[in-house]
Amino acid sequence: MKVVVIGCTHAGTTLATTIMGINRDMDITIVEKNNNISFLSCGIAIGAQNHIPMSRMFYSSVQVLEKLGVELYMQHEAVQVDYSQKTVSILSIVNQTHLEIQYDVLVIASGSLPITPSFYNSNVENIMLCKNFENGRTIQNYVNRFQNQNKIVAIVGGGYIGVELCEAFSSNNFTVHLIEGDDRIMKRYFCEDITYIAENKLTDNNCALHMNQFVTSVIPSGQQLLIQTTKQKLTVDAIVLCIGFKPNTALFINSAHSQNIILNCLNDSIVVDDFSRTSIPDVYAIGDCACCSFFTDESKSITLATNAIRQAFVAAANICGVVMPQQKVQGTSCTQVFGASFASTGITISESIMRFGNGKQYIYKDEECIVQYVCLEKTLQIVGVQIYSDNAGELIQVASILIHFKSSLKDIIMVDLGEFNLLQKAANTFIFK
């Protein structure tokens, strides 16, 4: 069986290695437009901050996959899919030659693209993006070149990525301005008590926060950039845009459209069933380009490497005839801001009210930690947990499992964890107060 995979970062790399682990006789061809595979975007901020070369942020290579028997077309871009004839047209980025590849099974692992506002201009080198190896190298080169020189950087977007970059630049003695459209940073993941701590960590470390405003224009002026937001003007030396990602699916949607074939999508994210199959026979979609099955019983785009890897396992197993359905996900994630650890799983209180029409939050606080539970009112079923604590990254794993198994606040106290941990201590104070 010939499996053709488009894209080779987390989803594509995991799929290929998993298939080869199950059945070495499978015929796999990968088409990747970059000249590298398996880049860890999560290493960009850490690499830039600590001067660790971006070349160390890979966990596989073309050579490793070739050794497994995988055929790779590097620096080739898939440009057209014929779903009826089961062919993919690919274009060499190096010499512009076209080639047509036949498939039995097609796996779309084309990921996501950074959202770029109208003022973004790829020719202005001090307006940077933060997604792939090249972006990582550009950011790192900038930090290396201008550290300790009183340069000013604006980070646009106060999600996880923007916040981590604030630390990377500030630790290298840049003055940092974080511009965020919402009234709080990381608002999608955390309650106010927790984001308040993260915000203080930033302001204590030379990062100015500019909330409730959007950048409307950026005009290059000599070596600098003049930023106009909905509230003020700022002059900076560089900007990094971190305003989110969109599914990289136009090629697959347009190809289907031109052949009158339906590729089910939700906001351009490809809808898949429990086995990572799309609405087109023998076509799978995995990773950032595909929807996840969220624990609230809805399909949604959650662009996390952890999801990409799990979807790749599922698709690989099923392609090899091992029936393995997808599990629902909670969107579990964690981060560190200037030494403080934050983690979140499930939904926030406002999302609970929006989705379920109700929700109750329980906030446990002491000097060193915060645990926030979001529960359904009647049953106390946990639908969200947010943690600020030294071991937030470990505790959130337990919290995610509790949500997965529809546990209630009462269940937590009784579950056998080997130690009475912070999650249990917090729940205990709400139940037995």
Ligand X SMILES: Cc1cc2nc3c(=O)[nH]c(=O)nc-3n(C[C@H](O)[C@H](O)[C@H](O)COP(=O)(O)OP(=O)(O)OC[C@H]3O[C@@H](n4cnc5c(N)ncnc54)[C@H](O)[C@@H]3O)c2cc1C
Which residues ranging from 328 to 347 are in contact with ligand X (CB under 6 A)? Answer: none
- Pick one of 1, 2, 27, 42: the residue that binds ligand X (CB under 6 A): 42
Q: Give the pairing type, strands 152-156 and 175-179.
A: parallel
Q: Does 78 bind ligand X (CB under 6 A)?
A: yes
- Pick one of 55, 258, 267, 306: the residue that binds ligand X (CB under 6 A): 306
The site string for ligand X over 124-143 (x = CB under 6 A, - otherwise) reads ------xx------------
- Judged by DSSP in three states, 69 sits in coil
Q: Does 248 bind ligand X (CB under 6 A)?
A: yes
- Pick one of 19, 65, 107, 161: the residue that binds ligand X (CB under 6 A): 161
For ligand X, the closer CB: 338 or 356: 338
Q: Which residue has the tokens 């080169």?
A: 141
Least distance from C-beta 78 to ligand X, angstroms?
Answer: 4
| Whole-number Å distance between alpha carbons of 384 and 404 | 11
How many residues can be counted in the chain? 433
Number of residues that bind ligand X (CB under 6 A): 32
**Selected catalytic residue, list 10, 76, 177, 210:** 10
| Whole-number Å distance between alpha carbons of 290 and 200 | 36
Q: Does 288 bind ligand X (CB under 6 A)?
A: yes
- Pick one of 46, 68, 197, 304: the residue that binds ligand X (CB under 6 A): 304
Question: Is residue 289 flagged as an active site residue?
Answer: no
Q: CA of 287: how far to CAs of 52, 116, 131, 270, in Å?
A: 27, 20, 15, 10
Which residues ranging from 352 to 381 are in contact with ligand X (CB under 6 A)? Answer: none
- Pick one of 49, 110, 138, 400: the residue that binds ligand X (CB under 6 A): 110
- Pick one of 5, 16, 28, 33: the residue that binds ligand X (CB under 6 A): 33
- Pick one of 3, 5, 12, 388: the residue that binds ligand X (CB under 6 A): 12
Q: Give the pairing type, strands 238-241 and 105-108.
A: unpaired
Q: Does 77 bind ligand X (CB under 6 A)?
A: yes
| Whole-number Å distance between alpha carbons of 17 and 4 | 13
Element (H, E) at 323: none
Question: Is residue 42 flagged as an active site residue?
Answer: yes
Q: Where are the alpha helices (DSSP H) in 52-107?
A: 62-67
- Pick one of 3, 4, 10, 314: the residue that binds ligand X (CB under 6 A): 10
Q: CA of 216: how far to CAs of 119, 181, 301, 423, in Å?
A: 8, 11, 27, 43
Which of 104, 28, 103 has its CA nearest to residue 66? 28
Least distance from C-beta 255 to ligand X, angstroms?
Answer: 11
- 82 exposure class (CB count in 10 Å sphere: 0-12, 13-18, 19+): middle
Which residues ranging from 307 to 326 are in contact with ligand X (CB under 6 A)? Answer: 308
For ligand X, the closer CB: 11 or 427: 11
For ligand X, the closer CB: 301 or 372: 301
Q: Does 60 bind ligand X (CB under 6 A)?
A: no
| Whole-number Å distance between alpha carbons of 155 and 375 | 34
Q: Does 27 bind ligand X (CB under 6 A)?
A: no
Which of 161, 192, 195, 189 has its CA nearest to residue 330? 189
Answer yes or no: are the C-beta atoms of 354 and 367 closer than 8 Å. no
Residues that bind ligand X (CB under 6 A): 6-12, 31-34, 41-42, 44, 77-78, 109-112, 130-131, 161, 248, 251, 287-288, 303-306, 308
Active site residues: 10, 42
